[in-house]
Amino acid sequence: MAPLHNRVSQKELKERLLQETTPRTTISFYHYFLISDPMAFRDALYLSLSSLQVYGRIYVAQEGINAQISVPSDRYEELKKLLYAIEPLNGIRLNIALDDDGKSFWVLKVKVRDKIVADGITDASFDMQRKGKYVAAAEFNRLTKEPETVVVDMRNHYEYEVGHFENAIEIPSDTFREQLPMAAQMLQDKKDATIIMYCTGGIRCEKASAYMLHAGFKNVYHLEGGIINYAQQVKEGALENKFKGKNFVFDNRLGERITNEIIATCHQCGQPADTHVNCANEGCHLLFIQCEACAKKWDGCCSAACQTIIHLPEEEQKNLRKGLDKGRNVFNKSRQRRPKLTEKE
Ligand SMILES: [Zn+2]
Ligand SMILES: [Zn+2]
């Protein structure tokens, strides 16, 4: 039997990848379906994907699969065939990353998890198989014209802040697990309304739609493939675009512009801005919105205190960082937790 784990060092594997000249395609996909034996599923998947030289990160849970992988481009069709041969995955959408060099992964990791999206749900009667209906871009546009339709953003507050659908409701929490009960609470008098949940790529809102049904809501939809897929459909089908601003994504760009409107403001001076940065002081690293003028004025820092720190000798900065626990250091405007950054001392 072939080994189920890599035996070569990470460093060596990375070097091998960087020397590879065959182009790679980066793909992501997820699917909620019942996997009764995640461990066995994991082992079989690991073996078959290894044979195609697939690299990446895959989570397998009883509720489904979530994958970010890369494959040698000339083996893409083989990969597709292999995945589609797994009955519940037959025909699923494989999202191809367009502006990607395929060098993000150099090892294949398939991990068994409790859930593919942590949700904090403890109710054993919650059933991920009973989820809302998919809605594509054209149908989304049609439904949102009806006055009774409620659109709910299931992303984090900082994602909502720089871009969202017209009239979308923000669920002002830092975590998805808190957002689920909060959404049901906020909409408790809308149990018969048409409710459309959305998120970046669809994985969160699909779970949220199941949660809302579980909580007694009757007409629940979720945007198929999330904002990413919506933006593509709008472009390809020349449809009306109801998303305003930037789609926040976790890569080096920290966001992909969808329309030219800037709907957020600089957290330091209040001028229109929607560029997320991390505070230049490593001991702070706060995620916040900063305009170009403020970036210059504060040397990329969130406060005068941080600006002072980055000009100290490196040794002193290291000492200051010792024992610091930043946790999830995010400027949360929706909670007014840090009303004025520059006043922070
Ligand atoms: Zn500013
Ligand atoms: Zn800072």
Confidence of residue 4 (pLDDT cuts 50, 70, 90): low
Mean pLDDT value of segment 304-308? 95
Contacts 24+ apart (CB under 8 A), 54-58: 54/79, 54/108, 55/17, 55/24, 55/105, 55/106, 55/107, 55/108, 56/104, 56/105, 56/108, 56/109, 57/105, 57/109, 57/111, 58/108, 58/109, 58/110, 58/111
Of 173-177, 212-216, 248-252, 270-274, least confident by mean pLDDT is 248-252
Total residue length of the chain: 345
Cβ atoms of residues 300 and 285 within 8 Å = no
**139 pLDDT above the threshold of 80:** yes
Active site residues: 199
| C-alpha span between 157 and 173 (Å, rounded) | 7
Ligand 2 centroid–CA 282 distance in Å is 8
Which residues are within 5 Å of ligand 2 (an ion), measured at CB? 279, 281, 284, 286, 302, 306
Mean pLDDT value of segment 313-339? 67
Confidence of residue 332 (pLDDT cuts 50, 70, 90): low
Mean pLDDT value of segment 240-259? 80
| C-alpha span between 127 and 120 (Å, rounded) | 14
Mean pLDDT value of segment 180-199? 96
Cβ atoms of residues 231 and 259 within 8 Å = no
Confidence of residue 117 (pLDDT cuts 50, 70, 90): very high
Ligand 1 centroid–CA 280 distance in Å is 15
Ligand 2 centroid–CA 259 distance in Å is 29
The secondary structure of 200-229, three-state, reads CCCHHHHHHHHHHHHCCCCEEEEECCHHHH
pLDDT reported for residue 328: 60
Ligand 2 centroid–CA 306 distance in Å is 5
Ligand 1 centroid–CA 268 distance in Å is 5
pLDDT reported for residue 345: 34
Contacts 24+ apart (CB under 8 A), 42-46: 42/110, 42/111, 42/112, 43/4, 45/110, 46/4, 46/108, 46/110
User: What radius of gyration do the chain's Cα atoms show?
Assistant: 22
Helices and strands in the chain, H and E counts = 11, 15
Cβ atoms of residues 130 and 69 within 8 Å = no
**264 pLDDT above the threshold of 90:** yes
pLDDT reported for residue 158: 87
| C-alpha span between 244 and 247 (Å, rounded) | 9
pLDDT reported for residue 5: 66
| C-alpha span between 246 and 268 (Å, rounded) | 20
**pLDDT tens for residues 190-241?**
999 999 999 999 999 999 999 999 999 999 999 999 998 999 999 999 999 9
| C-alpha span between 154 and 204 (Å, rounded) | 7
Of all ligands present, the nearest one to the C-alpha of 267 is: 1
Of all ligands present, the nearest one to the C-alpha of 275 is: 1
**Helix, strand, coil abundance in the chain, percent, nearest 5:** 35, 20, 45
**266 pLDDT above the threshold of 80:** yes
pLDDT reported for residue 339: 39
pLDDT reported for residue 299: 97
Ligand 1 centroid–CA 296 distance in Å is 9
Mean pLDDT value of segment 159-186? 93
- Going from the C-alpha of 227 to that of each of 2, 81, 138, 223, 269, the distances in angstroms are 40, 27, 13, 8, 29
Of all ligands present, the nearest one to the C-alpha of 271 is: 1
pLDDT reported for residue 331: 67
Mean pLDDT value of segment 46-53? 96
**129 pLDDT above the threshold of 80:** yes
Write the CB contacts of 106 (distance below 8 Å, at least 6 apart in sequence): 10, 13, 14, 16, 17, 18, 55
End-to-end, the C-alpha distance of the chain in Å comes to: 60
pLDDT reported for residue 340: 42
Nearest to 343, CA basis, from 268, 259, 281 = 268
**56 pLDDT above the threshold of 90:** yes
- Beta-strand relationship, 64-72 and 55-61: antiparallel
Which residues are within 5 Å of ligand 1 (an ion), measured at CB? 266, 268-269, 291, 294
Confidence of residue 173 (pLDDT cuts 50, 70, 90): confident
Ligand 2 centroid–CA 182 distance in Å is 30
Structure tokens given for 233: 């459909």
pLDDT, the chain, mean: 89
Structure tokens given for 100: 């990607």
Of all ligands present, the nearest one to the C-alpha of 297 is: 1
Which residue shows structure tokens 């990470």? 10
**336 pLDDT above the threshold of 50:** no
Mean pLDDT value of segment 169-187? 93
pLDDT reported for residue 250: 63
Ligand 2 centroid–CA 301 distance in Å is 5
Q: Which residue has better confidence, 3 or 206?
A: 206
Structure tokens given for 77: 């069709």
Instruction: Tell me the Ramachandran region of residue 177: left when phi exceeds 0, alpha when psi lies from -120 to 50, beta otherwise.
Output: alpha
Of all ligands present, the nearest one to the C-alpha of 324 is: 2
**149 pLDDT above the threshold of 70:** yes
Ligand 1 centroid–CA 272 distance in Å is 8
